[in-house]
Amino acid sequence: PIPRDLIIKDENGNLEKINALYEENKINLLFKKVSDFTGLKVQNYLAVDLNLVKSLIDFLGGIEVNLDEPVTDAVTLYTIPAGKQKLNGDLIELVLRSRYHPEGDFFRIRNQIKVISALKEKIISLNAEEKLALIRFLENKKYYWQTNLNKNDLLDLGLKINNLNNLQIEPIILTTKNDNLLTSGNFDIYNSYNVYGIYPKDGIDNYEKISLYIQSKIKEETK
């Protein structure tokens, strides 16, 4: 996963956070930055609204997530304990959002990966009738997700649900404390001042060492 606070340069050389590119409809620039960062060729996207994620979890009857540490809401201090437990949509939203931890966004990224993995396990456990109902559910919620895939691509993707058993999710998480590749600082971005951001130690938009590292990790996992 790419940190949401990654500082990049836009098409005019101005500083920007990478998570702002989608909102600004700069999809091609987003593809380029992601490709440069990972060393992978990125051409397609599927963007999902969090409201859809919540309703999907409830539609599936909840999912089991194994949390390494407690997850706390920063406002109410409501805490989900560590361990394996079945969570509904509202609690999954807390897991996906919470950065109330010394590691901040990196803590959230790890938990987001856990949710994705748990959702994958839930989906492959569905029988044929349940998978068909899932496809219908997503079709009825089409205003809550966006993609540049055409209908045939989406149909092929839906059919591949049956082949997810062999799919393994192996996250590669870069942090500012490990791997000696990223660091952090404060920046002036447009009319916002002293904004926290993450960037490569070799300089903003210099992803050569990062992409080489990611490619080496991918090769390790595919051996």
pLDDT confidence tier of residue 223, bands split at 50, 70 and 90: low
* Residues contacting 196, CB < 8 A, separation 6+: 5, 184, 185, 186
Average pLDDT in the 132-147 region?
A: 91
Nearest C-alpha neighbor of 51 from the set 89, 88, 4, 25: 89
CA distances (Å), 91 to each of 11, 117, 142, 144, in order? 39, 16, 23, 19
Among 27-31, 74-78, 139-143, the minimum mean pLDDT is found in 139-143
Return the pLDDT at 169.
76
Q: Give percent of the chain above pLDDT 70.
A: 94
Q: Is-above-0.95 flag for pTM? A: no
Cα dihedral across residues 31, 34, 36, 39: positive or negative: negative
Question: 14 Cβ partners below 8 Å, 6+ apart?
Answer: 189, 190
Cα separations (Å) of 168 from 9, 19, 160, 221, 223? 33, 26, 14, 10, 13
Lowest-pLDDT range of 33-47, 102-116, 167-181, 182-196: 167-181
pLDDT tens across 59-104, in order?
999 999 999 999 999 999 999 999 999 999 999 999 999 999 999 9
Cα separation, 121 vs 64, whole angstroms = 9
Lowest-pLDDT range of 36-50, 129-143, 158-172, 197-211: 158-172
